[in-house]
């Protein structure tokens, strides 16, 4: 039961704290956008802004940031004022790039911005400084926020200021601040508890009790607040213990729910309060219950030696001895188990064992079911809850994700490289085709022909060679008339009617000439028009050739792409090497933290073991001494009854001296 609770707690707390900052930035950015434009939350004026938001809500910071960076590169996002920049700052913070985020917020303060943008920027700067544990500068940044920030921002500012005061160990000032300022109702129990804790750290237990007891004034429904209530009552009980108000301590411990994660600690405290009142029988009840719980629970370990202590105080030395021996055996066994775990963690890949490489939240519960070493992970729950450990885990996962992403780019670049090579080949083939098709030569030949045609037309026009432009049947008729003329010349001497034929032929020729003359003007114009069309065709062909040449000369683009791909490949290789190194360093750091915690637990168990053994020895000595005293008394009584003389008196003195020496040595 306890294990399950411990694992689920670890699972819950492993979520990155930094995401909360990104979220608050986005909420504020969205809120200010709404106010400024009075449009619904989902109305966006730029697709990339929306795409970045989408990726952010899917926890894909890399894609979200890339969208904004591309938008920046391509001229920025319109219509959202400073929100894209605020969003980029928030995303950067969420992605663990706090210096980058700080730079953005500081730039937002450099120039003339609206008060609300400046307020947001100062708040986020304060938050980032707070995360870097720079409390003083965080407070300074908050001081720069305007007098009337927006309501949501004002609440966040108050909460942050309160946390800064607590981190600065100023519980009194924090208490005063709590009185004078307004906070969201849901935060009040937390602030009271944290102020109580801060007072307790300063050993001002009476003050601490006041704040812890604030939580007892209400009835809480949600599990989150019920758990906080249990914590407060447990802490209050211990504070009463320190104040030596044992009855009140018992009362506070009794308010903790038995099924709470804090119940074992409260049971232990209840036992101590009862023991302080010398009500050992009552103290034994919770302690004996605890000895039946899981051995990994430190409350169980404490109870293992508290139970015999109570028996000892009640004079039940036999029972005390028995329980000390049980504790000794239990601690020895647990130390051996921890040793085995340490060996297995050092031999195996620790990160495999802790499932840190898996995506999503770590499911410790299912891990506990599958792994032999899992019960010992209970010792690590405190470590898992620490911000720095969580930060390292998130960074480690970011690095793994980056490595995967960049490896994917390498594969894609190989493909693009091949694609560019294919395009280059295609261009080469086209170039070859141009050579084979001799387009240039063909155009030159056409130009020559055009020139010849032009000269011929010029000649026809100047000589008025009507028949040269004849067309269709007319050519045939002209040819026939011409042939007839030749035949007439051949028959002139032999044919008596030759003159008639000649006259007819002359008349036909005259008709044809007349007709050709009539059409000559139009035909010459058509010939010139055709020549002009030929010019157009030649020009068009020349253009095609130019375009193809231009395409061919597009090769430098491919060269540029090839250059970019090659350069990116080099960068990828170098970056992957750096990432491998960072992963290794990060892994080493995580491993060191985990092993240190296990060693600390081992050291604590060793102390318990030593204490148990000493107590066993002490009880043996006590019983031996009592037995020897009884034996001595018996001998003394016998001697007094039989013969009380000087020799016996001397012997008695020797025995007594010896017994005292032994006791002292023990």
Q: Which of residues 281-340 bind another protein (CB under 8 A)?
A: 302, 306, 309, 312-313
Q: Which of 106, 169, 348, 388 binds another protein (CB under 8 A)?
A: 388
Q: Which residue of 123, 130, 214, 280 would you call a contact of another protein, by CB under 8 A? A: 130
Q: Which of residues 417-476 bind another protein (CB under 8 A)?
A: 419-420
551: Cβ–Cβ under 8 A, 6 or more apart, which residues? 427, 430
Footprint of another protein on residues 344-383 (CB under 8 A)? 382-383
Sequential DSSP letters for 570-587: HHHHHHHHHHHHHHHHHH
CB of 428 to another protein, least distance (A): 19
Q: CA dihedral defined by 309, 312, 316, 322, rounded to 10 degrees?
A: 50
Q: How far is the CB of 309 from another protein (least distance, A)?
A: 6
Nearest distance from C-beta of residue 373 to another protein, angstroms:
23
Give which of 12, 17, 11 is closest to 394, Cα–Cα: 17
**How many residues in total does the chain contain?**
666
- Window 66 to 125, contacts with another protein (CB under 8 A): 66, 69-70, 73-74, 95-100
Q: Which two tokens stand for residue 106?
A: 């500081």
With contacts defined by CB under 8 A, name the span among 137-145, 229-237, 334-342, 469-477 that binds another protein: 229-237
In the complex, minimum distance from the CB of residue 201 to another protein, in angstroms, rounded to a whole number: 6
The gap from C-alpha 59 to its chain's centroid, in whole angstroms, comes to 7
Please state the closest distance from residue 197 (CB atom) to another protein, in A. Answer: 6
Residue reference for tokens 């007709």:
515
The one-character DSSP state at 466 is: G
CA dihedral 191, 193, 195, 198 (to 10 degrees): -140
Q: Confirm or reject binding of residue 556 to another protein (CB under 8 A).
A: no
Contact pick of 2, 453, 508, 561 for another protein (by CB under 8 A) = 561
Site string for another protein, 523-552 (x = CB under 8 A): ------------------------------
Site for another protein in 256-285 (CB under 8 A): 265, 268-269, 272
- Nearer to another protein (CB atom), residue 294 or residue 382: 382
- Site pattern 158..197 for another protein (x: CB under 8 A): -xx--x---x------------------xx-xxx-xx--x
318 CB-contact burial (10 Å; exposed 0-12 / middle 13-18 / buried 19+): exposed
- Out of 254, 281, 437, 585, the residue judged to bind another protein by CB under 8 A: 585
Residue in 36, 57, 38, 31 with CA at minimum distance from that of residue 153: 31
Q: Is 50 in the site for another protein (CB under 8 A)?
A: yes
Of all helices (H) and strands (E), which one includes residue 78?
none
Burial class (CB in 10 A: 0-12, 13-18, 19+), 638: exposed
> Contact region for another protein (CB under 8 A) — 108-116, 388-396, 451-459, 631-639?
388-396
Q: Which residue's CB is nearer to another protein, number 444 or number 577?
A: 577
All residues at 6 or more sequence positions from 201 whose CB lies less than 8 Å from its CB, including other chains: 169, 171
Residue of 31, 241, 341, 598 interacting with another protein (CB under 8 A)? 241
- Say whether residue 44 binds another protein (CB under 8 A): yes
Indicate the Cα dihedral angle 456, 461, 467, 469, nearest 10°.
60
Site string for another protein, 608-627 (x = CB under 8 A): ---x---x--x---x-----
Nearer CB in complex with another protein: 260/505: 260
Main-chain dihedrals φ then ψ at residue 22, nearest 5 degrees = -60, -45
- Alpha-carbon span 76 to 389, nearest angstrom: 37
Quick one: CA dihedral 177, 183, 187, 189, positive or negative? positive
564-583 residues in contact with another protein (CB under 8 A) are 564-565, 568, 571-572, 575, 578-579, 582
Q: What is the DSSP letter of 293?
A: S
If one asks whether residue 601 binds another protein (CB under 8 A), the answer comes out as: no
Residues contacting another protein: total by CB under 8 A: 110
Please, which residue, 286 or 467, has the CB nearer to another protein? Answer: 286
- Piece of 236-244, 286-294, 442-450, 635-643 that binds another protein (CB under 8 A): 236-244
Segment interacting with another protein (CB under 8 A) among 392-400, 439-447, 518-526, 638-646? 392-400
Among 235, 356, 478, 616, binds another protein (CB under 8 A): 235
Burial class (CB in 10 A: 0-12, 13-18, 19+), 190: middle
Piece of 173-181, 401-409, 451-459, 629-637 that binds another protein (CB under 8 A): 401-409
Radius of gyration of the chain (CA): 50
Residue placing its CB nearer to another protein in the complex, 228 or 512: 228
530 versus 564: smaller Cβ distance to another protein: 564
Q: Which long-range contacts (CB under 8 A, 24 or more apart) does 286-292 make?
A: 290/264, 291/323
Count of C-beta atoms within a 10 Å radius of residue 443 = 17
CB of 652 to another protein, least distance (A): 25
Q: Distance (Å, rounded) from C-alpha 394 to C-alpha 399?
A: 9
Helix axes 246-254, 223-242, angle to 10 degrees: 170
Is 592 a binding residue for another protein by CB under 8 A? The answer is yes
Q: Which of 5, 62, 454, 538 binds another protein (CB under 8 A)?
A: 62
Cα–Cα distance between 308 and 616 in angstroms, integer? Answer: 10
Residue 302 C-beta: closest distance to another protein, Å: 6
Choose one: 155-163, 365-373, 510-518, 545-553; the region binding another protein (CB under 8 A): 155-163
- Which one among 4, 15, 35, 43 touches another protein, defined by CB under 8 A? 43
φ/ψ of 592, rounded to 5, equals: -60, -40
205 near 242, Cβ under 8 Å? yes
| Local structure of 96: helix, strand or coil | coil
- Least spacing, CB of residue 141 vs another protein, in Å: 16
Q: Which two tokens stand for residue 491?
A: 């028959």
Contact with another protein (CB under 8 A) among 395, 460, 598, 609: 395
What residues between 209 and 228 interact with another protein by CB under 8 A?
A: 228
CA pair distance 253, 299, nearest whole angstrom: 14
């Amino acid at each position: 039961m306890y294990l399950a609770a411990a694992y689920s707690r670890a699972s819950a707390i492993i979520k990155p704290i930094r995401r909360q900052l990104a979220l608050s930035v986005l909420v504020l950015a969205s809120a200010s956008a709404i106010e400024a434009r009075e449009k619904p939350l989902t109305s966006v004026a730029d697709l990339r802004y929306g795409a970045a938001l989408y990726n952010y809500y899917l926890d894909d910071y890399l894609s979200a940031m890339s969208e904004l960076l591309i938008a920046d590169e391509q001229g920025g996002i319109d219509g959202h004022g400073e929100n894209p920049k605020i969003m980029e700052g928030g995303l950067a913070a969420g992605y663990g790039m706090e210096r980058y985020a700080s730079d953005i917020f500081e730039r937002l303060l450099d120039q003339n911005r609206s008060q609300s943008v400046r307020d947001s920027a100062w708040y986020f700067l304060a938050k980032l400084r707070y995360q870097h544990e720079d409390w003083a500068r965080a407070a300074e940044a908050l001081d720069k926020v305007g007098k009337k920030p927006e309501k949501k921002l004002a609440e966040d500012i108050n909460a942050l200021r309160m946390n800064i005061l607590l981190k600065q160990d100023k519980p009194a000032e924090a208490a005063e601040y709590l009185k004078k300022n307004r906070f969201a109702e849901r935060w009040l129990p937390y602030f009271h508890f944290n102020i109580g804790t801060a007072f307790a750290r300063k050993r001002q237990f009476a003050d601490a009790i006041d704040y812890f007891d604030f939580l007892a004034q209400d009835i809480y429904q949600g599990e989150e607040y019920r758990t906080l209530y249990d914590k407060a009552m447990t802490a209050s009980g211990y504070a009463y213990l320190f104040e030596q108000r044992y009855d009140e301590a018992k009362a506070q411990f009794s308010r903790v729910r038995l099924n709470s994660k804090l119940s074992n600690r409260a049971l232990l405290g209840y036992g101590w309060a009862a023991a302080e009142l010398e009500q050992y029988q009552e103290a034994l009840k919770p302690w004996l219950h605890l000895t039946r719980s899981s051995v990994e629970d430190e409350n169980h370990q404490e109870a293992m030696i508290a139970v015999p202590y109570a028996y000892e105080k009640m004079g039940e030395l036999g029972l005390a001895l028995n329980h000390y021996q049980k504790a000794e055996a239990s601690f020895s066994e647990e130390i051996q188990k921890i040793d085995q775990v340490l060996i297995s963690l050092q031999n195996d890949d620790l990160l495999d064992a802790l499932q840190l490489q898996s995506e999503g939240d770590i499911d410790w519960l299912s891990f506990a079911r599958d792994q032999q070493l899992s019960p010992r992970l209970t010792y690590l729950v405190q470590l898992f809850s620490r911000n720095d450990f969580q930060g390292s885990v998130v960074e480690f996962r970011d690095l793994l994700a980056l490595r995967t992403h960049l490896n994917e780019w390498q594969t894609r670049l190989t493909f693009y490289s091949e694609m560019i090579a294919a395009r280059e080949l295609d261009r080469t083939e086209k170039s070859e085709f141009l050579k084979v098709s001799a387009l240039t030569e063909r155009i030159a030949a056409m130009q020559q022909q055009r020139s010849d045609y032009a000269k011929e037309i010029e000649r026809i026009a100047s000589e008025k060679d009507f028949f040269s432009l004849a067309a269709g049947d007319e050519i045939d008729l002209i040819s026939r008339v011409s042939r007839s003329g030749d035949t007439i010349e051949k028959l002139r001497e032999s044919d008596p009617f030759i003159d008639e034929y000649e006259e007819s032929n002359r008349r036909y020729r005259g008709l044809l000439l007349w007709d050709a003359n009539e059409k000559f003007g139009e035909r010459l114009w058509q010939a010139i028009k055709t020549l002009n069309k030929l010019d157009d065709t030649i020009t068009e062909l020349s253009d095609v050739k130019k375009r193809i040449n231009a395409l061919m000369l597009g090769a430098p683009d491919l060269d540029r792409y090839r250059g970019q791909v090659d350069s990116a490949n080099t960068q990828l290789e170098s970056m992957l090497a750096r990432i491998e190194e960072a992963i290794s360093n990060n892994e080493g750091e995580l491993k060191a933290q985990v092993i240190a915690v296990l060693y600390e637990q081992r050291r604590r168990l060793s102390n318990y073991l030593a204490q148990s053994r000493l107590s066993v020895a002490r009880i043996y000595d006590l019983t031996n001494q009592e037995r020897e005293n009884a034996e001595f008394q018996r001998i003394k009584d016998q001697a007094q009854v039989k013969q009380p003389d000087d020799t016996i008196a001397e012997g008695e003195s020797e025995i007594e001296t010896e017994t005292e020496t032994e006791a002292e040595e023990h």
